[in-house]
């Protein structure tokens, strides 16, 4: 994938997360994708556990938003790092702000690995 394609895949991933659309999100991940939350010791392998994690995220928040991206693609290695701000709207309407980084590895035209480094409490629980 070229630089613009890597960035577009990351932005599709985050638009899907923000829109609560797992089918669109699923289209960015390989079947065997490994999803880790490095700062909280979480590792999920495959679509079913990843789906459950996002279902919990969406059920526990009124809204999630990712913005203010800085992307650093490595075309030769098939990787891209993204730094961004997260704004979570809690169920009671309060806003929680975070500064996070994700590291993505690409296989073909999808992510085979997503590694999350998250400031603050873990909103991507594994159960």
Mean pLDDT score, 26-30: 98
Mean pLDDT (the chain) is: 94
Is the CATH code 3.40.50.300 the one for domain 3-117? no
How far apart, in Å, are the Cα atoms of 27 and each of 30, 62, 110?
A: 8, 24, 7
Q: Domain extents for the chain?
A: 3-117
Count, residues in the chain:
127
Rounded mean pLDDT of 65-70? 97
- What pTM, to 2 d.p., does this model score? 0.93
Q: pLDDT tens digits for 42-63?
A: 999 999 999 999 999 999 999 9
Asked if residue 86 lies in contact with residue 63, where contact means CB atoms within 8 angstroms, the answer is no
CA–CA dist 67, 82 (Å, integer): 11
């Amino acid at each position: 994938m070229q630089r613009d394609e890597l960035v577009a895949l990351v932005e599709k991933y985050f638009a899907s997360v923000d829109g609560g659309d797992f089918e669109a999100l699923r289209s960015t991940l390989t079947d065997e994708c490994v999803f880790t939350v490095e700062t909280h010791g979480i590792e999920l392998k495959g679509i079913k556990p990843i789906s459950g994690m996002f279902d919990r995220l969406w059920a526990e928040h009124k809204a999630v938003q990712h913005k203010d991206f800085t992307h650093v693609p490595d075309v030769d290695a098939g990787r891209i790092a993204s730094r961004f701000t997260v704004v979570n709207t809690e169920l009671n309407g309060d806003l929680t702000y975070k500064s996070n980084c994700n590291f993505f590895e690409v296989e073909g035209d999808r992510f085979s690995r997503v590694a999350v480094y998250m400031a603050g409490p873990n909103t991507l629980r594994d159960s």
